[in-house]
Amino acid sequence: MSDLYAVIGNPVAHSKSPLIHRAFARQTDQDLVYEAILAPLEEFEATLDAFRARAGKGVNVTVPFKLEAFHYSSLRTARAARAGAVNTLKFDGPEALGDNTDGVGLVTDLEQNLGRPLAGRRVLLMGAGGAARGVLLPVLERGPAALVIVNRTAARAVELCRVFPEFPALDGCGYEALEGRSFDIVINATSASLGDQLPPLPGGVFATGALAYDMMYGKGLTPFLRLARTQGAGQLADGLGMLVEQAAESFHFWRGLRPDTRPVLEALRREA
């Protein structure tokens, strides 16, 4: 019988994870099936329990359940513990091993796909919610010269810095404090694009040739990427590469194999 995996979310119908993992499985000759499961908002745990009763081996967890997945985990990787959120679960007998592959997915996309090493660079991370926290540790571990978390509610950015006291390059502030500062890489981890809104970024935050990166993706440019273009960013990227790279890291966590992400990302871009 094929090994069973799934992505669980609400909503989940739009998820590209089944396409991506089926492509990885074909490429690496793995006998698995991968489903998309819609969990009712109040029934995440019950949905997981039912999936495990069908001998399910692992799941990807997406909006809005990453925090619940963290609590559901009986063991967590160090990066999941620091992220405070779990996007990947592996079931091993009674154990539910929780991991978080979002940060590694972002770093791999930035450094390998987009050719933007983080070491020594000035990085601005917009947003201080779950999405921002989920990626912080792997980004900090690459040694940026500065990593500034900027948030509409400045106190949340300052608070988030306290989770990573061993990184002196990390700092938190509100948007007005960015006046006169510029960055090599600006990452949008806010949910503002969902409401077609824009965080109040002052002009001048994009250094010459800077990369503007939106963790969201969709058809065409997001509002943040449109703003970045008018403010002189040198390179624009959406979160599709991060999606594929976090999936590859999850696949490795489950199967111990690393798929080649390039053809999968190229195929998704052709369809978009």
- Residues near 269 by beta carbon (within 8 Å), at least 6 away in sequence: 240
Q: How many CB atoms lie within 10 A of CB 31?
A: 8
Q: How far is the CB of 83 from ligand ATR (least distance, A)?
A: 11
Closest distance between ligand ATR and the C-beta of residue 126, in Å? Answer: 7
For residues 52 and 74, give the distance between their C-alpha atoms in angstroms, rounded to a whole number. Answer: 14
Residue type, 112: Q
Q: How far is the CB of 114 from ligand ATR (least distance, A)?
A: 22
57 in active site: no
Query: How far is the C-alpha of 73 from the C-alpha of 69, rounded, in Å?
Result: 6
Strand order in the sheet with 206-214: 170-173, 146-150, 122-126, 183-188, 206-214, 235-237
Here's the x/- map for ligand ATR, 4-43, by CB under 6 A: it reads as: ----------------------------------------
Contact 214, 238 (CB under 8 A): yes
Q: Which of 57, 66, 90, 219 is catalytic?
A: 66
- How far is residue 250's CA from residue 154's CA, in Å, rounded to a whole number? 33
Closest to 89 in 3D by CA, of 98, 78, 76, 79 = 98
Residues 186-225 that bind ligand ATR (CB under 6 A): 190-192, 197, 199
Candidates 18, 84, 129, 204; binder of ligand ATR (CB under 6 A) is 129
Distance in Å, CB of 174 to ligand ATR, minimum: 9
200 or 209, CB closer to ligand ATR?
Answer: 200
What tokens were used for 89? 């679960």
Cβ-based nearer residue to ligand ATR, 74 or 153: 153
Q: Is residue 105 a contact residue for ligand ATR (CB under 6 A)?
A: no
CA distance 81 to 38: 25
Smallest separation (angstroms) from ligand ATR to the CB of 159: 10
Binding mask 142-171 for ligand ATR (x = CB under 6 A): ---------xxx--x---------------
Q: Hey, which residues are catalytic here?
A: 66
User: Which residues would be at the binding site for ligand ATR (CB under 6 A)?
Assistant: 127-132, 151-153, 156, 190-192, 197, 199
